Structure 1
Amino acid sequence: MTIYEFARRIILEAGQNIKDKLKLELTIETKSNPNDLVTNMDKETEQFLADKINQTYPDHRIIGEEGHGSDIDTLEGVIWIIDPIDGTLNFVHQQQNFAISIGIFKDGEKYAGFVYDVMNNNLYHAIAGKGAYLNDRQLATLQSTELKRSIISMNPNWLTKDWTKDVYSPIVKDARSARSYGSAALDFVFVATGIIDSYITLRLHPWDFAGGMIIAEETGAIVSNQLGEKLHPLKSNSILVANPELHHEILNVYLMNYKDELENLHQGMFSSR
């Protein structure tokens, strides 16, 4: 069994565990702020995945949202980057619109990405260089769009803050429409499938984007930070993902008008992982 096949098996198992326990009472805690939630299910799912990986591949390293790998600062060897429940607010309030995300890297190179939309039983997955799939159906290469004919996804919070609304309001105004799904991993795969045309956000951690980035890039999407720079798998960053034509338009027509402000934001927000 390859690493890819093993990862596919355990992410499906982890999703089934979540579904089996949905009716049980959750233990809910807060982290950085009252809306930054973590549940016992987040922790149990990460531990389940980590245990499976450690038992089968004891020399692999793991970075997880809920604490695994906080001391990892190099890309040597095989690294699994895990978000056990991406979209915890959705999980708590809706019991849908959340995903398990896994990105796997070998010596700093992309190997495989997985995003499992648990409640819809949709597994998005990709091996780098071999295309992306939704379950057993290969995803098509993305078609180019221009902003005025595009649907974008963006957290509306960025449109309410004095220090970001001037940057993002023109993009929303000129787009065909805007959405907010509440799960970064799902936003990435929605770009990959053409459900939306671009996802734009600030402050994502590696576990938020690692799996989805690999899948989206396999369909021809361009993934960068909002300064047009390549993402580092171990560092937090801002995000701009879109088909190539739209990525170029949003970056050069809109975001570069605020290059100095975005550079200052990056210096303040992303000085470390």
Structure 2
Amino acid sequence: MHLYDYAKQLVLEAGNHLRKMMSEAIDIETKSNPNDLVTNVDKAVEQFLFDEIKTTYPNHQIIGEEGHGHDVHDLKGTVWVIDPIDGTLNFVHQSENFAISIGIFKDGKPYAGFVYDVMADTLYHAKAGFGAYKNERLLEPIKDTQLAQSVIGMNPNWLAAKKITPVLAPIVSESRTARAYGSAALEIVYVATGQLAAYITPRLQPWDFAGGMIILHEVGGVATNFMGDPLTITHPDSVVVGNQAVHKTIMKQYMQPHHDFLAPWHTNYRS
């Protein structure tokens, strides 16, 4: 079976596996802070994906949120970047609005991206150079919008963080409104479908953006960090994704004027 077809089938199987586990007891733990949750389901889904991939492709490398491959720095060959549940808070509190996210890279270059909205049974997927899909429907190139007529994705917690509020608050003020969905992977694909014009966050791990970024690029979207640099899968980063017009406006009018403020903060935050 072709790698793309195999990965597409695998993410759907993982979703089935996850839904079955939801009827059982869920153990919840905290990680870096009380709002950074992980469950036995996160761990089990990642282990399922890891075992299946390694059985089929033993030479492939895997970077997973819950412990697999965090020491991967050599991107030669095929690398899978996996988030078993992106939006664990939603999973725990809402039992919906979470996704399985997978990005596959070959020699460091994007190969395929998958974001599976598990409870909606909606799979966003793309093979680099061949377009992006929502289930079996080909996505149209995203249309440019003006910031004043745009809905922006942003976690409100960042607006309350004094060290970054001077940069982010004016963007929200100038937009039509802001929304938070609680899953970075879903918010990135919402930009790809035009439901959001942009998604902005000061810090995101590679497994959160790897799959969605590939899908976004296939419809003409732009993804950079706050400094305008391309995102990579080797380290966490700040993230600005959007249609081309809104991304350009955000970078030129809001990020570049704060370059001196962002540079040392951004460098320390990526480490």
What is the TM-score with the length of structure 2 in the denominator? 0.99
What residue number does 2:137 align with? 137
Aligned residue for 1:142, secondary structure, equals coil
> In structure 1, how many angstroms separate the alpha carbons of the residues matched to 2:14 and 2:265?
36
What residue number does 1:55 align with? 55
Aligned residue for 2:129, secondary structure, equals coil
- After TM superposition, the structure 1 = structure 2 runs for residues 1-273 of structure 1, keeping only pairs within 5 Å, are 1-271=1-271
Aligned residue for 2:141, secondary structure, equals coil
How much does 1:200 deviate?
0.3
> In structure 2, how many angstroms separate the alpha carbons of the residues matched to 1:239 and 1:150?
18
> In structure 1, how many angstroms separate the alpha carbons of the residues matched to 2:70 and 2:87?
21
Aligned residues: 271
- Give percent identity, aligned residues only: 55
What is the root-mean-square deviation in Å for CA atoms of aligned residues? 0.7
Aligned residue for 2:24, secondary structure, equals coil
> In structure 2, how many angstroms separate the alpha carbons of the residues matched to 1:194 and 1:86?
20
Aligned residue for 1:34, secondary structure, equals coil
How much does 1:227 deviate?
0.9
Aligned residue for 1:123, secondary structure, equals strand
> In structure 1, how many angstroms separate the alpha carbons of the residues matched to 2:154 and 2:198?
9
How much does 1:49 deviate?
0.3
How much does 1:208 deviate?
0.5
Aligned residue for 1:100, secondary structure, equals strand
Give the gaps of 5 or more residues in structure 2: none
How much does 1:264 deviate?
1.6
Residue by residue over 1:64-120, the C-alpha shift from the partner in whole angstroms, topping out at 9 and shown as x without a partner, is 000000211111000000000000000000000000000000001100000000000
Residue by residue over 1:122-166, the C-alpha shift from the partner in whole angstroms, topping out at 9 and shown as x without a partner, is 000000011000000000001100100100000111111211111
> In structure 1, how many angstroms separate the alpha carbons of the residues matched to 2:255 and 2:247?
10
Aligned residue for 1:24, secondary structure, equals coil
How much does 1:257 deviate?
1.6
> In structure 2, how many angstroms separate the alpha carbons of the residues matched to 1:41 and 1:141?
35
Give the gaps of 5 or more residues in structure 1: none
> In structure 2, how many angstroms separate the alpha carbons of the residues matched to 1:21 and 1:128?
32
Residue by residue over 1:194-253, the C-alpha shift from the partner in whole angstroms, topping out at 9 and shown as x without a partner, is 111100001101100000000011110000001110111211100000011111000001
One-letter amino acid matched to 2:90 = N
Aligned residue for 2:203, secondary structure, equals strand
Aligned residue for 1:233, secondary structure, equals coil
Q: Which runs of 4+ in 1 moved over 6 A?
A: none
One-letter amino acid matched to 2:169 = S
How much does 1:57 deviate?
0.2
Aligned residue for 2:35, secondary structure, equals coil
